[in-house]
Amino acid sequence: MNQPHAAPDPAGAPAVDNRHVPAAFVDVDETLVRDVTFLSLFVFDARRRAQGEEADAVLEEFRALRAAGMSRGESHRWFYRHWAGREVAEVSRTGRDWFASRAADSAFFNVAVRHRLDELRRAGTRIVLVSGSFVPALHPIAEAVGATSVLCTTLETTGGRYTGAVPATMVGADKSAALLRYAERTAVDLSSCTAFGDHHSDIAMFDLVGHPVVVGDTDRRLHGYPAERLPG
């Protein structure tokens, strides 16, 4: 049987030994997958219901708000209100259909990240998705990669429907707080863990773990961050 081995490290950071990593925390959008999942699912759902033009207008306004300086957390709250009134079970089913459609594209997953996660999982590492997206988009991805937990944005529901309110986002500092809660609940040593991300907002998560992995090189604010590098 092949033994787990230390992963290669092109950036010169200490290599991670797959045998001694209790948990791997993984950003999803544009890290594990190449989509922004909560936007992609929204468009998929709208076009299925012949409301593609309305969805395109929402995305255009969302991007304009971000360009004008609205924070990631606030822009997510603004966006998720558009699910108000929808049945949770229906959106969950749509999420599975969306995933089946997107995963049929060989470019949907980042192959380098998925390969590393497969290595870690086979060595006994718990895979934990940490994302600003929400459950209907994330659960099918979690099942596909064998993730044991999903830490994500929480949408309020009542009577089986979304209200449009967002009790908790999962961006920036939210991620570090979620990792600390996870570590307390599961008694893992974060300094023995690894984390994958593509954006400078992931630094809050990187700073807590012993082995950060920066995916891609599109964010200049991560160019000097001491981490292993994987292609984006």
What confidence tier does 11 reach under pLDDT thresholds 50, 70, 90?
very low
| Amino acid letter, 140 | P
* pLDDT average, residue stretch 36-52: 97
Please report, as a single letter, which amino acid is at residue 123: A
* Structure confidence at residue 4 (pLDDT): 33
pLDDT higher than threshold 90 for residue 15: no
Does residue 76 have a pLDDT over 50?
Answer: yes
pLDDT at 9 over 60: no
Tens digits of per-residue pLDDT, 129-150?
999 999 999 999 999 999 999 9
Q: Tell me the pLDDT band of 17, cut-offs 50, 70 and 90.
A: low
pLDDT score for 177 = 96
How much of the chain, in percent, has pLDDT values that exceed 90?
88
Question: Between these two residues, 5 and 211, which has the higher pLDDT value?
Answer: 211
Nearest to 202 by CA among 226, 171, 224: 171
- Long-range pairs for 37-40 at CB < 8 Å and ≥24 separation? 37/131, 37/133, 37/137, 37/138, 37/141, 38/76, 38/79, 38/80, 38/132, 38/133, 38/134, 38/137, 38/153, 39/79, 40/98, 40/102, 40/137
Mean of pLDDT over the chain: 92
Q: What number is the average pLDDT over the span 67-76?
A: 96
